[in-house]
Every structure is written in structure tokens, then in C-alpha cells.
Amino acid sequence: MAHQHSSGGGYEAFAATAAEYGVDVRRVSPEEAEAAIEGAVDQPAVGALLPWDGVALPAAVTTDPTPAELSAATTGVTAASLAIADYGSVVLRADEHGSEPISLFTDHHVAVLHEDDIVPDMPAAFDWFGETLRESRDSAIIATGPSATADMGALVQGAHGPKTVEVLVVA
Amino acid sequence: MSSDTPTGGTARESKAEHIRQLLATEGDAVAANTRGFNAGRYESVAKLDEYEALKDEARAIKADAIERLPELIDAVAEAVEENGGAVYIAEDAADANRYISEVCEEADADRLVKSKSMTSEEIEVNEHLQARGVDVVETDLGEGVLQIADEAPSHIVAPAIHKSRAEIAALFNEYFDPEEPLETAEELTLFARERLGEQIKEADVGMTGANFVTADSGTIALVTSEGNARKTVTVPDTHVAVAGVAKIVPTVEDLQPFVELIGRSGTGQDITSYISLFTPPINSPTVEFDDPETPIGGAGEDRDFHLVLLDNGRLAMREDEDLRETLYCIRCSACANTCANFQSVGGHAFGGETYSGGIATGWEAGVHGLDSAAEFNDLCTGCSRCVEACPVGIDIPWINTVVRDRINDGHEGEFEFLVDGLSPDVETSGPDLQKRLFGNFETLARVGSAFAPVSNWLANADPAAALLERVAGVARERDLPAFQRTTLVEWVESRDRIPPADPDRKVVLYPDLYTNYIDVERGKAAVRTLEALGVEVVVPSVPGSGRAPLSQGMIDTARAKAEAVAGDLDPYVEAGYDVVVVEPSDLAMFREDYRHLLPEERFEALADNSFEVIEYVYGLLEDGGDLAALDHATGEETVAYHSHCQQRTLGLDTYSVAVLERCGYGVRTTDAECCGMAGSFGYKHQYYDLAMDVGESLAAEVRAADADHVVASGTSCTDQLDDLLGDRPAHVVELIAPEGEQSVLSATSRHTGDGNR
């Protein structure tokens, strides 16, 4: 991920807003990342390859899962391409490693983010989306907190998607 | 037409009964949910520094997109085809359904899973596919509830808000007969998630709507929270998106203001859990749950995507000057949640075949026709609270007025002769008798005043009230306005007051119908207040503003009034007079509605020089006017102040609060969007119960405030609070006016002519 985004103070702002949605955010060094991911997952866990050199998934996270493994998994670990500080959102880009189903079918989603990819606000995010989506014709989700519904008479976290979300920010 | 036509007494009675039933069965759940959304909206948009600028930007993007729609449709088609998908422009519902069922046949589909889409409701695709052997499953939890209950959505964003948790639990327990009865929202959600999750895994086709479609990349944006839309797109290898042609915006960057506004405006969320930006067919592996041991992988090379762009009347709406702005609508539901009437009855009364809420009149008229719009169009009272709530600034009341005018066309009732003499309107269309009666209120007021107090005794006497209810649908529970024998204009003429030789300012006080014929005391108080602040005041005889006919959809008559008013007031404006108005709904005519009725230059001259009376007083005080010349509170006096709906939309309520505070009052303001009376609405027999239900939430606020004075700015609000509280509120100006020739600030003095009181 070659993009560099302005990041002065972005982490604190992002972490504070994400916390309002019940998202647990932690900053880790590249060396600590693998152990931090291992600590964040509840087994069984599935994941998609992370795009950064020197940041690897622990062996306990199954990559290229089968549908059966996906169904059985409690945790899904995927990379976030971007985070939007104002909204506490992470951007989840669909890819051939199955990031979209892995982040969606599991009860607990662990998103791994590079601190350089935190942008301050929605206009900055949409500059990135415009360029990226026109060029790649990819798909991406702006995900804020866990899935939720109020359709059953009260707000419930954990509708069709994850019930809990955790973000590890690699700095 | 006879009296059992949709405008006659029988129809009025059945409409009244339908509303009473909804108030009793669904009203509480709808009220709790919509008022919660509305309060959330205020809170959420207040966090945006650039809220107004974002709205302007969003509106400009939509205006541009609709202007360039034909070229954008071509661009979308090109982009989607480049991406490997197909685009089908469907002329109407049948055309769309035919194409979608062909897609299902080619996919050999047994089951299609759907995420929530109002456009798919519009074409009734579920019924079409089910009749052809495709199992259609709504995966949105709210839509899922309605599919089980076999009911229509009551809200465009939260379709099952008319159902309480307990009702959903009872429905599930009966339908599914689970081992352990379901009770909490968590249990219900978990149960539905498991069941629907299994159905998604076995689906052959996924159908979504689209909140937006971008022409540059063929990306569709979906605004959701549950995650079912993501699953619907990701799991099956065939994806059909159904979107109105008006959903196209030029570029991905254009989505930004909408993404920031849509959740805040609708359900009061800063952002929903998921804003999906899918560029289908998506570069993500399909998940073959029927082949559980083969690892998932690949970039979705086996995916099919079909974008069905639906016309169904939209391109004709684009050519229709008055309906065109409907196409700017982003379906956020702000106009439903902010609407006092909607808050009481929901979309099962305030909605047509598919759409509900304020903007639904435009959609229904455009896609289903006037008959569907006519079912509920009357429920828009023109209070205008939705205008500032709308993230793209659509003039929703105007669309309702225009459609009402078109609906009026062709109605002729059997009792027309009764109002012919009293209704000198110039309508080329034929509004029904009830509308003509209220639309020609000016004539009633003039005649009523001339024969007061006898006319008041007669109108409110039991036999006359019963006749009025049967023939014209005037609710007999209401006391009709008590006309004063001496009008404000006559009172001013009789004063022999020598105008000041060198006044600081010159004002023409517009004698609106209510101030001139009914609440004359507030007019006198306005004159005394302005004079005390060194202003020369004249009160010429000027016709009604046209508010009454406009509210009945009698646009020709309203335009004739506007021209007459401008003809009378223009010379004063040219001579340097400011126009001051007491009744907020008439000021809103001058400042907003006349935009549609007068040439631009004449509209702007009057709009720029017209002021609400307390707004004007505030300006005088700011310019060094003598605050001591006004009447002040003695000691710790408190006021419960209900501003008028249109006054709030104009942003003028703050002046009344500020002036009352300067005069020493402690002020509590109300949150209710509207009093429920809204001109003639609450007088109509078929809407009386609804108007009282809306008013009750206001009355509860006023009672809770427990203030020394209850004050309101509008005549309707005053009448309604009078009926609800049994005590007639004063106007702000009556509290601050210095003592004068006939200053008697008591409710009874204004109602000596009212035989029923």
C-alpha cells in the first residue's frame, strides 16, 4: 500500500471516535503485530493476507479458508486500506483473498490498519476512493462499528455481520 | 360525482375511521420511533460545522445530475459494461420484472435473496418472481418481519417501525413456534440472523437496490447497517441491482456530501455501520457453501451483474417543472420523521402505493399517478418543517400543493351551490366543496365580520355545526373562529392619530385575515408597539395573502391574491415603507411561496422588505430603540412559547425568544414540530382526531413547562392550544405592547362574539 496520507494526530482522533462505537483500538509496532493479532483472536480464526512487508498473520489464523472453515470461524482478520478519523471508520477493500466474506461472516472482526493510512475526514477519504475505484474498479466498504439493527424494537449490535470489532494500528 | 366519491362525506367518514384505527394500533410505536429519529437528526447535524454548505453541495450535485441525466445514463452503461456487467434500462415495472425474471431463469434460480430496496417495492418484483416459482427472501430484518406478517412498509428506511418488540415476538413465536419462546430484541435478532443467514447461503441470485450509482466507475453505493446487503452481494454469483434512473451521480467524489448527510438526516446516525461502495461484478470470490471443502479464492471471475435502471415515469418527471425536484430525493426519510402528522400515523396513512412521508406525493404522482397521491396528499399541511430537514433542500410543500391542485381538477360535488356565493375563486380546476370553503376563507371572514356577532352564534349553533360537518366536513367539535365586528383596518382609521412628523422608520402593517377579522387585539398591540419605538404605522386595506387557497391546492386563486397583494404593497415598498406581518404563515407567503406565484423581480422586492413583527421589533431595539417603552415582566414571570412551524423554518423564532427575554421573561420553548391545526387542517372532520393527537404532544410540553403565560405566534397554534388547554394563548406582541387606548389583555375580550364559548 504505497499511499501516504497526512497522519498528524490522526491516530488519537480515530481511536476516540471509533471508541464511541464500541470499537477497541490499539497501536502496535510492526514487530509486535503478529503477537497482538494472536492475542486479539478467538479461535477458530480465519484471515486474509496482510499487504505490508514485515507484518504477518500468526499461524493460528487460517488463510484461504474453505466455506466450512469460514462458517465455523469466530474471528476474521483482514487489512483495512484506510481509516477516517472524524467518523471512526475503517475502509475494507474487497480482494481475491476473501477479505470481504472473512470480515463479514465472523462474529469478531479484527481489522489491521497502518497508521499512515488514517485520513482526517470524508473529503480526504473520497479523494482516495475516486482515484482508487476509477482506476481499479474495486469495491470497498466504509465500516463503522459492528453491524447493528433497530428493527426488533431496540438497538442490537450484531445483526448479519460482526458483533464486535477491534482495530490494530501498526505504527 | 356524488357524495360517495373520494371527496364526499362517506369517504371522509371512512378516512376518519382509518386514521382513528391507525392512531390506536400503530400510533404509539410510530411516534416513539419517528420522534427518536427526528431528535437524533437535530443532534447529529449540529455536529457538522459545514452542515448548510454540505446541503448546498448535495443539492447542486443532484440538480446537475438530473440536468445531465441522459448523458449520465450512457456513461453508467459504458462503465458497467467495461466492468463486465450489463445495464438494462426498464421503461416501467412490467419491463423491469420481465428482465429480472429472465435473469433468474438463466441463473436457474430457485431462491433470490434481497436487501432492502424501495424501488423493488415500487415494481412489486417479489410477487412477480414468486408467481414464477422463485423463492424471494427479504434479508433486512425489518423487511423480513413484514414478509412474515404480510404487511407493507410503514416507513421508507425503517419499514417495520409500526411494530413494537412485543408484537414482533408474538409474530415470531406464532409463525416459527421455537422451542423457547422469543422475547428480547437480542433473541429476536439472533433468531432472524441465523435463519436468514442459512437462506442467504443457499441463494442463487442476490438483489439489492442502490442509494447512488456513479457514472465514472459504475460503482453503486448502499447505505446499510445490518450487513445483509454485503452478504447478498458477496455470496451468490449473480447480482441484480434495481435503481431508479435518478440515482446516478457523475463521480465517486460526488458521493461524499451524501455519505455525510444521509444517516444524520434520516435516522439521526452520524454514519450507518456500512457504506458499501460496490463496483460490480465485485472482485471478490463467491462463497460456495454447497461445496464446503474447496477453499474460497479468485477475484470473482464467475460473477454476473445486472444493473436495472428504472424509468417508470422518472424521465417524464424530469420534464415536469413542478415534479422535477422530487428526483433530487435521496430517500433519507427526514421529511417523514420531521412531519408532525407522520409522527402520529406513519406511512400506512401518510403514504401511497409504495412511498410514504412528505416527498411521497411527488414520487407517487410521478410513478403511480395522481390517484395514488390523492390517497394521502391532504396529510401535508404545508407546515414546511421538512424543507430545512431535507438534505437536498426540496420544496416539498410546493410539490404537495401542485399535486393537490392537479387532484382538484375535475371534482364537482353536489352541494357546490352552497358555497358558490361565498367562494369567488378563479379555479379552472374543480376543488371539492370542503377545499373551496376553506380556500375562500377571506370571503367568509369578510361576511362573518360584517354580521358579527350574529354570524358567530349561528355558525357555532348545533344545527349549523351539524350541517357544516355533513356537507363540508367541518368538524363539529371545533368552535369556528369568532369574527370581530370592528376590523383592525377600521380601528386604525377611527383613531384620528396624527402621524409623527419625522418618524425613524415607516411601516405598512399588513392586515392579515386573522389579525384583521379575528385576533384584532394582537394587531392593535403590534401598532402600539411599533409606534412606541418611533415608527409611523399605516394599515391599509389589503386582500388576503392567498395562504388559504394555496393550502387547498387552489393555485390560480392564490396567484390572483398574490398579484393583488403585491399591487397594493409595491407602492409602499417603493416609497420606503417596510412591510410588517403578524401572522407567520402570511409572512412565509411573501418570503417563500410567492416565489412560485409572482415574477422574480416582484417577488424579491416584497420578500426583501417583509418582516415578522417581532423580528422587526428586535431590529428596532438593535438599532437603539427604546426598550423601556415596551411592557416588561413584573418579577419572575415565565413564558411557555410555541413558535409557528413556518416561522421556525424561516429561522425567526429566535427573535421572539430574545425580545421576550429582554422584556424580563424567562422563556421555555416547545420542541413539537407543529401544533396539528395547521390552518384549516384541524377543522376538517376527517382529520380532527389526527390533529388532536398531534396537538396533544404539544399540549403535554406546554403543561410540563408550567409557565405564567402561554404564548404562540400563529393563529392556528393559538386556536389549537385554546382547544387543548381551555385557555387562549396570547401573541408575543401582546405581552410586550405598551398600554394603549383599548389594551385589554384578556382572552375573553377577544371572544365576546363567540356564542359557544
pLDDT digits (tens, 9 = 90+) for B619-661: 999 999 999 999 999 999 999 999 999 999 999 999 999 999 9
Cβ neighbours of B727 (radius 10 Å): 9
pLDDT confidence of residue B452: 77
> What radius of gyration, in Å, describes the C-alpha atoms of chain A?
15
Residues 6 or more apart whose Cβ sits within 8 Å of residue B314: B244, B245, B246, B327, B366, B367
Is the distance from CB of B64 to CB of B250 less than 8 angstroms? yes
Q: Give me chain A's average pLDDT, please.
A: 94
Q: What is the reported pLDDT for B462?
A: 77
Q: Quick: pLDDT tens for B249-273.
A: 999 999 999 999 999 999 999 999 9
Say which residue, B749 or A167, is predicted with more confidence.
A167
Q: Which pLDDT value is given to residue B628? A: 96
8 A C-beta contact, residue B228 and residue A159? yes
Helix (H) or strand (E) holding B88: strand B86-90
Helix residue ranges, H only, B481-546: 488-493, 513-517, 520-532
Q: What is the mean pLDDT of residues B275-292?
A: 95
Confidence band of B457 (pLDDT split at 50, 70, 90): confident
B520 phi, psi to nearest 5 deg: -65, -30
The C-alpha cell at B71 is: 448523458
Terminal alpha carbon distance of chain A: 14
Say whether A137 and B255 touch across the interface (CB within 8 A): no
Chain B residue with minimum CA distance to A152: B185
SS3 B651: coil
Query: How far is C-alpha B92 from the chain's CA centre?
Result: 28
Confidence of residue B9 (pLDDT cuts 50, 70, 90): confident
CB B314 within 8 A of CB B366: yes
The three-state secondary structure class of B314 is helix
Q: How far apart are alpha carbons B133 and B139 in whole angstroms?
A: 19
| Residues B419-442: tens digit of each pLDDT | 555 566 777 667 788 888 888 888
* CA neighbor of B286 nearest in space, from B200, B193, B196, B199: B200
Q: What is the pLDDT of residues B575-611, one digit of tens each?
A: 999 999 999 999 999 999 999 999 999 999 999 999 9
Q: In chain B, which residues have their Cβ closer than 8 Å to the Cβ of A97? A: 297
Q: What percent of chain B has pLDDT over 90?
A: 82
Assess whether pLDDT exceeds 70 at residue B332: yes
**Taking residues B205-215, what's their average pLDDT?**
98
Average confidence (pLDDT) over B447-457: 79
Chain A, chain B: beta-carbon pairs less than 8 Å apart:
202
Contacts of A62 (CB under 8 A, 6+ apart): A44, A45, A46, A47, A69, A73
Q: Please provide residue B541's backbone torsions phi and psi, each rounded to the nearest 5 degrees.
A: -80, 115
CA distance B292 to chain A (A): 5
Q: Which of B148, B186, B189 to mutate against chain A (most A CBs within 10 Å)?
A: B189
Q: For residues A123-147, give the mean pLDDT.
A: 98
- When CB atoms are compared, the residue of A96, A126, A151 closest to B255 is A126
From the CA of A11, how many Å to the nearest CA of chain B?
Answer: 19
Does the predicted interface ipTM exceed a cut of 0.85?
A: yes
- Span B502-525, mean pLDDT? 94
For the domain made up of A10-147+157-170, the CATH class stated in words is alpha beta
Q: How far apart are CA B336 and CA B103, in angstroms?
A: 35
Helix ranges, chain A (H): 10-20, 30-40, 67-72, 99-104, 122-136
User: Peptide bond preceding B549: is omega within 30 degrees of 0, i.e. cis?
Assistant: no
Beta-strand relationship, A45-47 and A61-63:
parallel
Mean pLDDT of chain B: 92
Cβ distance of B189 and A156 shorter than 8 Å? yes
The answer to whether B297 touches B285, Cβ cutoff 8 Å, is yes
Residue carrying the nine cell digits 407567503: B589
Cβ(A25)–Cβ(A10) below 8 Å: no
CB B525 within 8 Å of CB B582: no
A52 near A114, Cβ under 8 Å?
yes
Q: Nearest 5°: phi and psi at B733? A: -65, -25
In order of their start, the domains of chain B are 27-314 (3.40.50.10420), 488-751 (no CATH)
pLDDT of residue B757: 31
The whole-number pLDDT of residue B596 equals 96
Determine whether the interchain pair B293/A150 forms a contact, defined as Cβ–Cβ distance below 8 Å.
Answer: no
Residue B752 has pLDDT above 50, yes or no: no
Nearest chain B Cα distance for residue A160, angstroms: 5
Cell of B629: 417603552
Quick one: pLDDT band at residue A2, thresholds 50, 70, 90? very low
Tell whether B139 lies on the interface with A, counting CB pairs under 8 A.
yes
Question: Strand B274-278 vs strand B220-224: parallel, antiparallel, or unpaired?
Answer: antiparallel
Looking at residue A100, its amino acid is E
- Residue A91's nearest CA partner among B58, B47, B259 is B259
Q: What band does B4 get if pLDDT is binned at 50, 70 and 90?
A: very low
pLDDT at A8 over 70: no
Instruction: Select the residue of B227, B252, B282 nearest A130 (Cβ to Cβ).
Output: B252
- For residue A70, which residues of chain B lie inside 8 Å, CB to CB? 287, 296
Contact by Cβ (8 Å): B90, B312: yes
Residue A75 DSSP SS3? strand
Query: Which residues in chain B are closer than 8 Å to A150, comparing Cβ atoms?
Result: 158, 267
Ramachandran class of B206: left when φ > 0, alpha when ψ lies in -120 to 50, beta otherwise: beta
Put simply, whether B226 touches A (Cβ < 8 Å) is yes
Give the range with max mean pLDDT: A6-10, B158-162, B453-457, B492-496: B158-162
For residues B4, B7, B12, B16, the Cα torsion angle rounded to the nearest 10 degrees is 130
Residue B205 · residue B280 · CB < 8 Å: no
Residue B263, helix vs strand vs coil: helix
Contacts of B140 in chain A (CB under 8 A): 151
The 10s digit of each residue's pLDDT in B79-135 is 999 999 999 999 999 999 999 999 999 999 999 999 999 999 999 999 999 999 999
Predicted local distance difference test score (pLDDT) of residue B474: 85
Q: Is the pLDDT of residue B670 over 60?
A: yes
Q: What is the mean pLDDT of residues B361-375?
A: 96
Q: Is the pLDDT confidence value at B751 over 60?
A: no
- For B222, the closest chain A residue by CA position comes to A141
Is B225 at the interface with chain A, CB within 8 A? yes
Whether B51 contacts chain A with CB within 8 A: no
Burial profile B224-260: b = 16 or more Cβ within 10 angstroms, e = fewer:
bbbbbbbbbbbbbbbbbbbbbbbbbbbbbbbbbbbbb
Q: Check residue B410 and give its pLDDT.
A: 56
Over residues B666-671, the mean pLDDT reads 96
Domain residue limits, chain A? 10-147+157-170
pLDDT for A131: 97
Best mutation target, B196, B216, B225, to test chain A (most A CBs within 10 A): B225
Task: Give one word for B295, left, alpha or beta, with left for phi > 0 and alpha for psi -120 to 50.
Answer: beta
For residue range A67-110, list pLDDT tens digits in order: 999 999 999 999 999 999 999 999 999 999 999 999 999 999 99
Do B293 and A96 lie within an 8 Å CB cutoff? Answer: no
